[in-house]
Homo-oligomer: A and B are copies of this chain.
Amino acid sequence: MGRARLVAVDWGTTSLRGALLDDAGKVLAEKSAPLGILNVPGGDFASTFAAQFSEWMRDAGSLCLISGMAGSRQGWQEAPYAPCPAGPDELVKRLHWIEPGRIAIVPGLSVEQGGVPDVMRGEEVQIFGALRLTGLTDGLFVLPGTHNKWVTVQAGRVTGFRTYMTGEVYGLLTQHSILSRTTEADAPLDEAAFLDGVRRAGEGEGLLHNAFGARALALFERLAPAPSASYLSGLLIGEELRTQSPGREVVLIGAPALTARYALALKQAGVATRTLGAEATWAGLAAVGEKV
């Protein structure tokens, strides 16, 4: 077993996850708790951190890097965004030290495109982890989720990205809209219905119209509640593909249930994919940690 070198922490909105890494970035131990930034008892981040990680901190020679929403205004302390283009070097320069030399928050990234900013917190670390794990220095990365990101990397740095409210809008439409009556939000994926939705979105009519189409199909009993969920998911992911039109391999990073949908949709568009999971976060924090 290697020497403990880094306590890597991913502190998100709903969960707190940590890993103890050795010099080579190998995971020695992992833990997680439902202590996301919105669920920190008494808002006392320092005590919550100590309760979870003080033992590991002794083992690791006291270096801890934290990524995710812990660095947002609602988090432990606000870590201002690093502007793109940015790679691990820029993140290290802008680490927000909670305890100098000991505990730092990794900043998120910001970018300005067409007069409107965009932001990420946490995904940047997953991307640098993916670069490390794949050996890539350039590429197009997709990180599905509540606020899905499409990210361009050149020479090891993020040069631009776009956020899509895909996951959140899926939840709103299936839980709170008129579609909730005829959609079984948690149904297993129906591939044919999903790919129908992707194709429909590609015709360019836009989500506001196409989503109502799911309602009308249900009214005429041409779309049952289970495939309706997949069709709607396809409309949403297809809407991303319509505006991104990726012409090269895409690297997907995230939970298998979501990345599998993007892989299917991209395959239909003739685009190859490869997929990484949660390991990308620890690899990314290791990549940043090596430069501290």
Contacts and interface: CB of A to CB of B under 8 A. Distances in A.
A36 B166 CA distance: 33
A165 B147 contact: no
A226 interface: no
Contact of A168 (B178, B205, B222, B239): B178
A258 interface: no
Nearest to A116: B213
What's the number of copies of this chain in the assembled complex?
2
Contacts of A168: 177-178
A173 B171 CA distance: 11
A165 B212 contact: yes
Interface residues of A, number: 41
A204 B243 contact: yes
Contacts of A206: 164, 206-207, 239-240, 242-243
Interface string A234-257: 001001101100000000000000
A209 interface: yes
Given A208-B236, A212-B163, A212-B165, A200 B116 contact: yes
A44 to B, nearest CB: 23
A147 B239 CA distance: 20
